[in-house]
Amino acid sequence: MTKTIEITTNRETSDPILQKFQNHYTKTLDQNAASLPRLLESIHLSEPVNPYLIQQITMASAQNLTDKWLTGRKSLRTEIAYRTIPDYPESMLTSSLLIDALINLLDDSLDELMTKPERSLYIIELVRVLAIYNHQTLSKEAYQKIAEYFNKILCIAATEKLYAKNIKSTTEFSRCLQQAINCYNCKSIVIDIFFELPLLERYGAKTDICNIISLARVHRALYQILKDYNDVERDIANETETPMVILFQKEEKIKDYIDAMIDYYLWETENLLEKNYETELREISVNLTTIVYDKSRHIRKILL
């Protein structure tokens, strides 16, 4: 049975799994550093540049992100998969963390208010990750899943606006609720690749993992609902339009909507748990169900 997972700003930064993730991610700095002397020489600069100066900058940009992972200020999607998949394939860990980084960096660059130095760190880290991302050794199937995933991200951006418009345009509770659920279902797709890569590596392309992905999406939707609820005031200040922001500005009873959404996702979880799973996937389904129940109880406790 998996350990209960709660992602909060007060999380334990000495967690050995989080420390392991930080170590794996910071080791990718070595890949950037290895190519610097040759690249600097090939540019034919009029004055020599010490590669160590560039390494210091990239170390700072990487730490800026990993510090947020360790404290829970940024979502670490890899963690959920790592904790719920027994014998998680270590060969996929770095690739998963790099995708986590790309999503975090892109998301904050678009949505967060930053000073110029802060934004510079994000841009440097984004470029650093992109520089080493294509040097991974992955299977053809894994690269196809990754390409498909980033196309999904494009779809999320487009459909979120549609559902936001629909929430604004109606005053009927049930319709607002359905549009909010649609929006969180859409947002939850962001978790897919973090389960697809390790499950593909461990069980192969022939294993049907659709129900596992659906359970992972349920947990992600609940995570996002709680995050948006906690971030309402900040999102309004940043002009970030989430379902919670729209309902808040319409002076709707947000807690009633959240309670109804939890009921929906618990019903969805129960349906998914009744599905037939291959033997090797049954434990993962139980682990995911456990953290869904834990997350729903945690949210309802906050709403009291």
Q: pLDDT tens digits for 256-282?
A: 999 999 999 999 999 998 888 888 899
Q: Is the pLDDT assigned to residue 232 strictly greater than 60?
A: yes
Same-domain status, 85 and 105: yes
pLDDT of residue 36: 75
* Final residue belonging to a domain, choices 137, 170, 198: 137
- Residue at a domain's end among 81, 112, 137: 137
Domain assignment present for residue 85? The answer is yes
Do 75 and 194 belong to one domain? no
Are 16 and 79 within one domain? Answer: yes
Residues 86-114 pLDDT 10s? 999 999 999 999 999 999 998 888 777 78
**What is the pLDDT at residue 32?**
83
Q: Are residues 142 and 286 in the same domain?
A: yes
DSSP track, the chain: -PPP----TT--TT-HHHHHHHHHHHHTHHHHHHHHHHHHHHHT-SS---HHHHHHHHHHHHHHHHHHHHHTSS--HHHHHHHHSTT--GGGHHHHHHHHHHHHHHHHHHHS---HHHHHHHHHHHHHHHHHHTT----HHHHHHHHHHHHHHHHHHHHHHHHHHHHHT---HHHHHHHHHHHHHHHGGGGHHHHHHHHHHHH-TTS--HHHHHHHHHHHHHHHHHHHHHTHHHHHHTT---HHHHHHHTT--HHHHHHHHHHHHHHHHHHHHTS---HHHHHHHHHHHHHHHHHHHHHHHHH-
Please indicate, yes or no, if residue 4 is contained in any of the structural domains: no
| 287 Cβ contact partners less than 8 Å away, ≥ 6 residues apart | 1, 2, 83, 84, 85
Indicate the pLDDT class of residue 4, thresholds 50, 70 and 90: very low
* 38 and 99 within one domain: yes
**43 within a domain of the structure (yes/no):** yes
Residue 5: inside a domain, yes or no?
no
The answer to whether residues 179 and 115 belong to one domain is no
Residues of the domain holding 29: 12-137
- Residue 195 and residue 298 share a domain: yes
Domain count, the chain: 2
Q: Are residues 178 and 144 in the same domain?
A: yes
Same domain, 111 and 32: yes
Q: How does 144-168 read in b/e, with b if 16+ C-beta sit within 10 Å?
A: ebbeebeeebeeeeebbeebbebbe
Please give the C-alpha separations between residue 159 and each of 84, 155, 183, in angstroms, as whole numbers.
Answer: 29, 6, 8
Confidence class for position 304, pLDDT limits 50, 70, 90: confident
- C-alpha span between 93 and 21 (Å, rounded): 8
User: What tokens were used for 209?
Assistant: 């993992």
Query: Taking 50 as the threshold, does the pLDDT of residue 3 lie above it?
Result: no
Q: Is residue 255 part of a domain?
A: yes
Q: Indicate if 219 and 294 belong to the same structural domain.
A: yes
Q: How confident is the model at residue 228 (pLDDT cuts 50, 70, 90)?
A: very high
In a domain, 6, yes or no: no
pLDDT by residue (tens digit) across 16-56?
Answer: 999 999 999 999 999 888 887 777 677 766 677 777 788 88
Q: Flag whether pLDDT at 2 surpasses 60.
A: no
What amino acid occupies position 76? L
Domain ends where: 137, 170, 191?
Answer: 137
Would you say residue 1 lies in a domain?
A: no
Residue 2 lies in a domain: no
What rounded mean pLDDT belongs to the chain? 88
* Separation CA 31–CA 75 (nearest Å): 25
Say whether pLDDT at 244 is over 70. Answer: yes
pTM for the structure as a whole: 0.90
Same-domain check for residues 209 and 89: no
pLDDT at 13: 60
Q: Are 146 and 280 in a shared domain? A: yes
